[in-house]
Structure 1
Amino acid sequence: MSKAELYRKLEDEARVRAAGERNPIANAANFSALMFHFLPDINWAGFYFRKGRWLVLGPFMGKPACTRLQVGLGVCGTAVAQEKVIVVPDVHKFPGHVACDEASNSELVVPLHRFGTIVGVIDLDSPVLARFDEEDIKGVEALARYWVTASDDWS
């Protein structure tokens, strides 16, 4: 199965799980589990939610993670500060990388945009160097857009 097909199946399953459910935490929990189990070579999949100048840990699958990340620092914080997707082929070469799991070698962070504001990020880590490519970006961006439309604003 191609990556594009894999992401279509993942999004279809996310739509089934979110059908009739508007709670953002419940949806983030299911999306995290789906990404973790659907995507190969992933050792962490989850959400961080923005609270002022911090990103606070949300639902995830993987080893215990950093509870708070400062906006502007690390891969997640940089993605929020720069308001863009960040792919890091080798996290050990990323200035200021915050190592929550020493087994992680590459990372993909996709901001969650709601009404022109970043409310959080989806974060994926892999033990494989250079694990993430354009297909992963497209697939996770689609999931991020769907999570935003499927979930009520709780702030």
Structure 2
Amino acid sequence: MPAEYFQPPEATLSKPEAYGELASQLAGLMDGETDLIANAANMAAVIYHGLPDLNWAGFYLMRDGGLVLGPFQGKPACIRIPVGKGVCGTAAATGVSQVVADVHEFPGHIACDAASRSELVVPIKVGGRVIGVLDLDSPVVGRFDDEDRVGCEALVRVLVDHIK
């Protein structure tokens, strides 16, 4: 699917329906492309423009034993995050998605944007190894829930299926 045909999901859709639509559009955008950076860049844009109440959507990729800023949409961000530190580092260290209703209550939260109040981080695994994380931030406390986690894990599977 050519990028110019991207349409954010209708506001009347349920969260599972909206994530299904985003997954379908992502698969179309990534069709025939296997480059991680190119696909992550489009995915960050699709998520940022396709989901409500976000102030940041992007990736941190594993480089030299730590997480390094990758493609994103939003304000400039922290460049490096140690594995095990903050929400992103915790997801990378544990291999488990993190849903944080209020980042001020997460021990060791790394504040790249003071406006962020809630966060969802999904590890990206290839062959059982974490190669990075998808990170979503919102200025709204409690923005993310289990439906968002499931939906974003499905989006990450689309990405993994389209990289070499």
Separation in 2, partners of 1:133, 1:89? 8
Aligned to 1:44: 56
- Who is 1:30 aligned against? 42
Instruction: Give the whole-Å Cα distance in 2 for the aligned partners of 1:4 and 1:148.
Output: 20
Give the 4+ runs in structure 1 shifted more than 6 A: none
Is residue 2:100 matched to residue 1:88?
yes
Alignment of 1:59 with 2:71, yes or no, is yes
Q: Aligned partners of 1:28 and 1:42: how far apart in 2?
A: 17
Asked if 1:143 is matched to 2:161, the reply is no
Counterpart in the other structure of 1:75: 87
Question: Structure 2 counterpart of 1:126, which letter?
Answer: S
State which of 127, 130, 134 in structure 2 corresponds to 1:118.
130
Note the residue ranges of structure 2 that are not aligned, 5 or more in a row. 1-12
Residue 27 of structure 2 corresponds to residue 15 of structure 1: yes
Count the aligned residue pairs. Answer: 152
TM-score with structure 2 setting the length: 0.91
- Percent sequence identity is 56
One-letter amino acid matched to 2:96: K
Alignment of 1:129-140 (within 5 A): 129-140=141-152
Cα deviation for residue 145 of structure 1 reads 1.1
Once residues 99 and 89 of structure 1 are traced to their aligned partners in structure 2, the CA distance between those partners, rounded to angstroms, is 15
Distance 1:16 1:58 in 2: 22
* Residue identity matched to 1:43: N
